[in-house]
Structure 1
Amino acid sequence: MSGLTRLNALPVDDAERDLLTCCGSRAWARAMADARPFASEDALLRRADEAWWALGEDDWREAFRSHPKIGEKKAEAGQTDRERAWSSGEQAGMQSAAEATQAALAAGNREYETRFGFIYIVCATGKSADEMLAILTARLGNDADAEIRVAAEEQRKITRIRLQKLLAG
């Protein structure tokens, strides 16, 4: 059975639980579970984007809380084993980071969270620690209205990658 067939066949509560591992917004997971069945992976991904951008800032912030800070392993909202494994893989660029880079990211994480009121979220897949630090430094120059949208776009990218992982199995 394909991952899409399996997702389409799940009871609503089980589908929501699986979808929450891809995006920590309960409203998004509910909307996606209710939108089933999906005819294709492309249809699923299109609907995921539509559902994401239909949400408000509170829902986005809820999703952000399901991620550990860059360089950390534990999310504020807690994580399933699947989410922990995915986060670890997504942040693989941190494993070889120099101590100075790790320290700068930790300090930047604190500054970012103080400035914007939520964690620094970036689609870390394929990025080195130095790249993530450069992105963080640049984003600290954003105003709050611009940054929430930038962060939401990063979450959207992460969600798409995780949906593909969910379907792959």
Structure 2
Amino acid sequence: MPNVETGAPPYGLAVFNQLDAARAREELLACCASRAFAERVAAGRPYSDTDALAAEAGRVLAELPWDDVLEALDAHPRIGERPRGPGREAAWSRREQAGTAHADREVLEALAAGNAAYEERFGHVYLVCAAGLSAEELLRRLHARLDNDEETERRIVREELAAITRLRLAGLVAPPGGAR
């Protein structure tokens, strides 16, 4: 059973490679909530190493139709809004957005307003790989991206989704106890 606070998985790559297809898809959905992504990456097993898994995930993400990207985006909380509840995906989101945990109220209110403006402009949640970024930096990036055209923003969203997915995949297949 994974540790719901850290999102630590119960196994490494070798065990992931041996999961039945349904369980592998379920685990992959915690990394990227596109059913097409989970299906294709699970079908590519066994992976020789984590680099091969990451490379295949990147290829799949780059080829997903936009509707499948939107499906993945639907699972992401807004920046500045802490996901609630147990589970690996919520734990990962909390950890990834740690830079907003102690942000002052003005910055959080500006993020909320920026999220609303972004969603009005682009029709989906503002997605950014928030790991290691402060709330102020996330807000700067959000404001900069509001000026993007649709094509540019879709490219950036795919890049950000790929970055988040790489982090989560690394966590998913990390050997128990963190040894590599």
Relative to the length of structure 2, the TM-score reads 0.89
How many residues are aligned here? 166
Counterpart Cα distance in 1 of 2:52 and 2:43 = 14
**2:70 is equivalent to residue 61 of structure 1:** yes
SS of residue in 2 equivalent to 1:96: coil
- Whether 1:158 and 2:167 are equivalent positions in the alignment is no
Query: Given the alignment of the two structures, is residue 121 of structure 1 paired with residue 127 of structure 2, yes or no?
Result: yes
After the TM superposition, which residues 63-102 of structure 1 pair with which residues of structure 2 at under 5 Å, given as runs?
A: 63-74=72-83, 81-102=87-108
Q: Which runs of 5+ in 2 are unaligned?
A: 1-9
Distance, in Å, in 2 between the alignment partners of 1:167 and 1:107 is 36
- Larger mean Cα displacement after TM superposition, 79-88 or 22-31: 79-88
Task: Note the aligned Cα RMSD (angstroms).
Answer: 1.5
Structure 2 CA distance for aligned equivalents of residues 18 and 2 of structure 1: 11
Residues 104 and 125 of structure 1: CA distance in aligned 2, closer, same or farther (over 3 Å): same
Percent identity, aligned pairs only, is 46
Cα distance in 1, alignment partners of residues 35 and 144 from structure 2:
30
Higher helix proportion (structure 1 or 2): 1
Q: Measure the CA separation in 2 of the matches of 1:123 and 1:2.
A: 24
Shift of 1:105: 0.3
Contact 1:8 1:37 in 2 (8 A): yes
AA partner of residue 133 (structure 2)? K
1:105 maps to a residue whose letter is L
Offset of 1:86 from its aligned partner?
A: 0.5
Structure 1 partner of 2:15: 6
Q: Which amino acid aligns with 2:130?
A: A
Aligned residue in 1 for 2:42: 33
- After TM superposition, where is structure 1 displaced by more than 2 Å over at least 4 residues in a row? none
Give the superposition deviation at 1:146: 1.0
Which residue identity lines up with residue 113 of structure 1 in the other structure? E
| Post-superposition offset of 1:152 | 1.2
Q: For the residues of structure 1 that align with 2:124 and 2:29, how far apart are their CA atoms?
A: 19
* 1:77-130 deviations in Å (ceiling 9; x for gaps): xx8611110000000000111111000000000000010000000000000000
Counterpart residue identity of residue 30, structure 1: E
User: Using the alignment, how far apart are the partners of 2:22 and 2:82 within structure 1?
Assistant: 27
Q: Give, in whole Å, the separation in 2 of the partners of 1:45 and 1:130.
A: 30
Partners in 1 of 2:63 and 2:21 — Cα distance?
Answer: 20
The letter of the residue matching 1:123 is C
| Equivalent position of 1:22 in the other structure | 31
| Matched position secondary structure for 1:127 | coil
